[in-house]
Structure 1
């Protein structure tokens, strides 16, 4: 896979297993991503995501898969199709969570990506901060 458009890394005081379980269940997105208003299962590891009007992808489908300590979210059906890859690494009593954002191979968006990516990176990082608070306080 080519280089991600952006990455965020955060250290969380929790087990890799707890973080992994949380990420593998997209219904928990409602707890840590404020603009998500509904998550609906639509099949085996597939979910419809509905966001507020202000979001770039108001509606999208997320397919969730995992392999070892890596969790994949593949988004289709929105204005911007992407893959989000979470890598988990244990370090003492904490887990390092790395989030990498890739555009889908078939993405030929007419969106101004150079302008949008810094905004998206910041938004995804804010969501990770919220994720950390939820995990550490649960």
Structure 2
């Protein structure tokens, strides 16, 4: 059984990924900064088959994002997004889950930017 290491896996996008991957046959190792949140998230020790995926640049209303970006900033971000909304943690987790799946076996590591097309000129 392969193992996925989820950094920041105690909350938000990371937590959604931690919940999703076991259903797809992965053991999950979780890292994060808040020991209490990590204890709640739970994790399994990694095996020798580990893939690391970092989801960066996501426009998702995670607790960290909400603390750091005021509502006016979130509104501005929504207005510049082709979908006119922020992404859900589950949507970003799906991208990470794909990269951890055997169908993406040739991809050894990836830094995904799941931002709904934020900043694209149309």
Q: TM-score, normalised by structure 2?
A: 0.27
More strand per residue: 1
More helix per residue: 2
Q: TM-score, normalised by structure 1?
A: 0.25
